[in-house]
């Protein structure tokens, strides 16, 4: 059974590096859709990991703990990339003088 093991340190490090680079690129070019790319990728990975955990065969039961750890890591990445998306969306809205998707975190952005 193949699955993307995010508990592997090398895979985790590469995921963090690519995510940070995409968020930095989105912040530099002021396009929020670039920061949404890792968000959708991690949402897809979360769905895949949950489906794999639910439909796991008996001979692969030993992978349940690894897949559940991957689900936790997926949730952490989703949280981080969602806040990054809101941050870049705020930057894009200020640069183009348009209304942001969500202004409820203005108090948070002012403190950063």
Please tell me the pTM assigned to this model.
0.83
Domain assignment present for residue 31? The answer is yes
Residue 106 reports pLDDT greater than 80: no
Domain assignment present for residue 24? The answer is yes
Domain assignment present for residue 91? The answer is yes
Structural domain for 103, as ranges: 9-111
Q: What is the pLDDT of residue 100?
A: 61
Which pLDDT band, with edges at 50, 70 and 90, does 7 fall under?
Answer: confident
Domain assignment present for residue 16? The answer is yes
pLDDT in tens, 14-42: 999 999 999 999 999 989 899 999 999 99
Domain assignment present for residue 22? The answer is yes
Please give the Cα distance from 105 to 112 (Å, whole number). Answer: 11
Domain assignment present for residue 45? The answer is yes
Domain assignment present for residue 83? The answer is yes
Please state the domain count of the chain: 1
Please give the Cα distance from 110 to 46 (Å, whole number). Answer: 32
Q: Cα 13 to chain center, whole Å? A: 14
Residue 9 reports pLDDT greater than 80: yes
Domain assignment present for residue 32? The answer is yes
């Amino acid at each position: 059974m193949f699955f993307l093991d995010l508990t592997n340190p090398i895979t985790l490090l590469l995921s963090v590096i690519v995510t940070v680079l995409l968020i930095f690129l989105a912040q530099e070019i002021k396009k929020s859709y670039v920061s949404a790319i890792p968000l959708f990728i991690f949402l897809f990975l979360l769905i895949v990991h949950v489906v794999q955990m639910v439909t796991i065969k008996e001979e692969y039961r030993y992978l349940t703990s690894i897949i559940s750890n991957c689900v936790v890591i997926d949730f952490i990445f989703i949280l981080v990339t969602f806040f990054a998306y809101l941050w870049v969306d705020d930057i894009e809205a200020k640069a183009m003088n348009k209304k942001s998707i969500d202004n409820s975190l203005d108090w948070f952005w002012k403190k950063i």
